Structure 1
Amino acid sequence: MTVPFTSLDSFRHLLATCPAPDSAAQGLALARNGQLTKPPGALGRLEDLAIWLAGWQGREKPQASAPQVVIFAANHGIAARGVSAFPPQVTAQMVANFRHGGAAINQLSRTFGASLGVHALDLDQPTADFTQGPAMTEAEVVSALATGWNAVDPEADLLVTGEMGIGNTTSAAAIAAALLGGNAQDWVGRGTGVDDHGLARKAETVRAGLVAHADALHDPLEVLRRLGGREIAAMTGAIARARMERVAVVLDGFICCAAALVLQRLHEGALDHCIAGHVSAEAGHGRLLAALGKDPLLALGLRLGEGSGAALALGVVQGAIACHSGMATFAEAGVSGA
């Protein structure tokens, strides 16, 4: 399809038109929640989840029978600086694994009934080394945003965005440092399992990128273009499209949240349709979630990426919906209320 933006400026303006949830549907869901056969508040956050989702789906009884998982994969020029424990060719190898059903995300998507799509973005053309110049041209980042935008199924109940890209935790750390401040070492983590020397190389790479692009760090879309990657931009585009379609999003790990951070810094409330699926073992993820104002559903020490933590959290959301939409009210069950 033709996307409704052709430049970073037109993407920026589009976000200013993002819709709000259906307050009437939320009100109906809230009223129903008060009539279900349970003590008030007995299901804790599950109750909040169901009411929140009712607003975005525009129905008193939300559903999650058609969740969608989309994975975006791309390569990074900074990988040549030794910031990952794995070589860049692993990106293409894992894309093949995704497509053949052999990765963790395939198993989790199947478990929770989610469709799975895989989008490889110019794997033979890594982004530029952002310590030497912008990672992408405007045309390249707009193209990546468009890939994410077009990957979203407007009929999906929920969306999970995942990623694969050797070097992308370094890129995500650079984005977080640029938009939230702090030292490079505050944001870098071990990613795929780098040793202390690798961790130091990651911090130095982030520091060099921040210095090289100091004149543009006030603009979130320029930060994405200069320090990001194609798969990160694609996730940004997908999360934005989901908002326009009122599709609720379950955010994954550090890299996904860095992509979402761009939207938050562009437009207040741009992530109101998002929840945090989990907090990962990546060093900066908890701090990033705090900056986003998102309380994670799960904390299992995951650091895989692929959308795996968010896909696992689909089960929690589905449980919340099953209780809210399937439970009987006191009147229906013939049970005396409080």
Structure 2
Amino acid sequence: MTEPRMFDAERLERLINDARGGEPDSRRLLHGRGRCYPGCEQINVDFFNPVAVVTLYAESAEAHLTGIMKELKCLQPSPLEALVVQRRYLAGAPAEWLVGVMPESWYARRGSLRFALTLDGQQNPGFFLDMEPGRRWLEALAPGKRVLNLFAYTCAFSVVAVAAGAERVVNVDMSKQALARGRDNHHINGLDKRRSEFLPEQILKSWSRIRRRGPYDVVILDPPSFQRGSFVATRDYAKLVRRLPELLPAGGDVLACLNAPELDTGFLQQVFAEHCPQARLLERLPGSEDFPDAEPERQLKLLHFTYPGVSG
């Protein structure tokens, strides 16, 4: 009896062939968490050339590891030099290198841009693949703009915006370590350091310092959905939205992000309607094709609002 394939064979072969020809963009190979692949609901597989990262969310998913490794090894000649498995169902989400060793320098790649990665004691390597539609949106909008990047993490939005010609990007995050990695990402890509700033601040308590560096043409709201002691979307998202009139001039744009499967698009629309009624929803950005979901409302939500302000 033939074992079921874990991956879309044609798509995976195309990706591997692209890798042989140069430096392919980093991609998700298998998005089991979207529940479109029966039996793989507790597995994700990502490709950061030349490393594949397998993430397991339940002990039962261990049974699929052999099949995953077999399929990836069958792609010969293959650019894959290493395979790491991260077990999210265990405390601390430990990572184990099953094939090869961790490269001295390991990057996510997006066109000509690179973003440093690490799994040492981290749940996330430092680059969110599902945010690509948001990065494309910002890349098109950024030239000549002043951008505020709230909950900046490792500043991928900022790297993309500065590389696209943004006048200035202010990155704000409570984690000094994440911002240090963000600063390194700008340096890795040879970007003008005068066009980016990094503020280690508790955002909900630091509006005066954030406002002083404005006004902004683009504001990105990308908070965690739930971070104990820091941010809870159902309670705190409104606190961000009601500040927008202080930050944006007439005609400014907002990208409101929400990665909470239990909250739908209607949640964000209601928050804006109540706390910044002048803002107008233009579109929900389409999700990444690499992240199919049986229930689209459980996907990452990326809503583009415009703030027309008050004409004088």
TM-score higher than 0.5: no
**Structure having greater relative contact order (Cα 8 Å, sep ≥ 6):** 1
Q: Which has the higher strand share?
A: 2
Give the TM-score normalised by structure 2.
0.30
